[in-house]
Chain A
Amino acid sequence: MNDFDYIYVVIFLTIFTFVILLAIILFVTYYQRKQIQQKVDIQNLKNEMQRQLLESALEVQEVERVRIAKDLHDEVGAMLSVTKMSLNQLLRKLDDAEDLSAQGLHTRELLEQSIGQVRRISKELVPSTLDEFGLMCAIDEFIQKVHFASETFFVFSHEGIDSNQRFDRKIELAIYRIVQELVNNALKHAEAKEITLKLATEVNKIIFIFTDDGKGFNIESVRKNPKSGLGMRNIESRLSVINGKFDIKSVIRQGTHTIIEIPI
């Protein structure tokens, strides 16, 4: 082998070595990319599984609410009504005994109150208005009831959305339950005097804005507290099922402002 051949061999070997090294480097790069992709896929799979679990849990919850509402209305309510009728008959026979009659009237009032409460609980458990007339009517009915009971002032507007407009049942139910949760928080914890609810649609999404003039709260400390953060987590889980997101801002002694976006 002369020097000329030797140079060619060296050049060939150098190129060949670089090719092998390049192949190894490419292998490592491709492996790391595949590894990252696998991680993303696994995470997506986990998220999807979690979402489905949550969705089925919420469905089970709704089914259970329907069952309880039905039992209350059909069985306890009916039983109370029969008891009331029986009491009415008894009262007619006790016309002469004044004391007994007064006691009977008082018992009837209590019974009437119980019947009313059973109806209210039954209706609250399953918002029949939501299924029959849609989200706007259901929210309207709900805030009217709360207004009469608490004297809190409500402003509800739905720009660009017809009163009878319907959305996907999951979305309607989620918004309705979130409204219940937010109103409940505003009254119970924030002692709000005025609550504003605004529903609007943008391109492919529903925007819901909830504002109250209550005491406000520290979002971080509420999030960290497992007891007080339950409502917020409930809202988050309901929104995660329908791929919604929410942003909450609260200022102490000034109130709370919540914006929810749900894709449609």
Chain B
Amino acid sequence: MLLRIFTNIADFIILLPVILIYINRQYLTKELKILSIYVLLMFIRNIISVIYNFLYMKYQYYVNTVFYYNLYNIIGFYLIAYLYILLLKDGFLKKVIYGLMIIFTFFSFLDIFNGTLNIDTSEFNKYSFAISGILIPILAFTHLYKILQGLQTENILTYPYFWISASFLLYFSCTFYMYLFVNNSINNKSANPLNMWQIDTIFSIIFALMLSFVFNFSKNLETLKSNKIE
């Protein structure tokens, strides 16, 4: 029962950043627009999950949603990598990120051959989950370091770009290990991994709330921009 409540909250909490994106749409910078696409991707993924869950509950119609998670993972990484290309604004780091994207593409291809594009697949991506789980926290760390060097904003807690990296750092670092366990248990068919999803739902809720802060404080970027011009 508790798991169901958490799962429902995790699926629907994504509505909060989506609503905030709509409310603050005129303040969205190019970076925040990229993040909005990522949030919408999560929203679509959750809707699919909710629909299939409903079909299963109502008509015992079972569809494995792993395919959507795998697809979301690959597209999501490219969006996040591009977001950091925009955020880091550093020629060398941009080249590094492009390099990382190429590496990620290579591993994604390995996953595709292993069944990522098979809609009935019941296996999580072997490599791309792990690669994105390692690379995204590194990018988030780098960005936080850049923020610390720049000291552009007076109150860091109302700076949307800080919340982007803080949320990515927390969510991807913590879920990375979890995915490793889940992947291992599913792929080896050793045990029921359902217990692990309880943890994922908690992190998803925290992640969505932190992303809400990003869009809630998006208008502060306007103030920061005008202060810079002055």
Contacts and interface: CB of A to CB of B under 8 A. Distances in A.
Contact of A16 (B177, B185, B193): B177
Given A1-B181, A1-B185, A34 B148 contact: yes
14 contacts: A1-B190, A9-B181, A9-B196, A12-B177, A13-B178, A20-B174, A24-B166, A28-B157, A30-B148, A31-B148, A32-B156, A34-B148, A35-B151, A35-B156
Interface in A1-19: 1-2, 6, 9-10, 12-13, 16-17
Q: Is the interface of A mostly helix, strand, loop or mixed?
A: helix
Interface of A: 1-2, 6, 9-10, 12-13, 16-17, 20-21, 23-24, 27-28, 30-32, 34-35, 38
A20 B190 CA distance: 30
A156 to B, nearest CB: 52
A23 B137 CA distance: 12
A10 B177 CA distance: 11
B74 interface: no
A16 B203 CA distance: 12
B191 A1 contact: yes
Interface of B: 144, 147-148, 151, 154-157, 166, 169-170, 173-174, 177-178, 181, 185, 190-191, 193, 195-196, 199, 203
A13 B195 contact: no
A20 B148 CA distance: 17
A10 B170 CA distance: 16
Q: Lowest 5 A-B CB distances belong to which pairs?
A: A1-B191, A31-B156, A1-B185, A17-B174, A24-B166
B199 A13 contact: yes
Contacts of A31: 147-148, 151, 156
A35 B153 CA distance: 8
Contacts of A35: 151, 154, 156
A28 B174 contact: no
Given A1-B193, A16-B177, A30-B148, 20 more contacts: A2-B191, A6-B195, A9-B177, A9-B181, A9-B196, A10-B199, A12-B177, A13-B199, A17-B203, A21-B170, A23-B169, A24-B166, A24-B170, A27-B166, A28-B156, A31-B147, A31-B156, A34-B148, A35-B151, A35-B154
Contacts of B148: 27, 30-31, 34
A24 B169 contact: yes
A9 B197 CA distance: 12
A2 B192 CA distance: 9
Given A13-B199, A16-B174, A16-B177, A34 B151 contact: yes
A165 B165 CA distance: 65
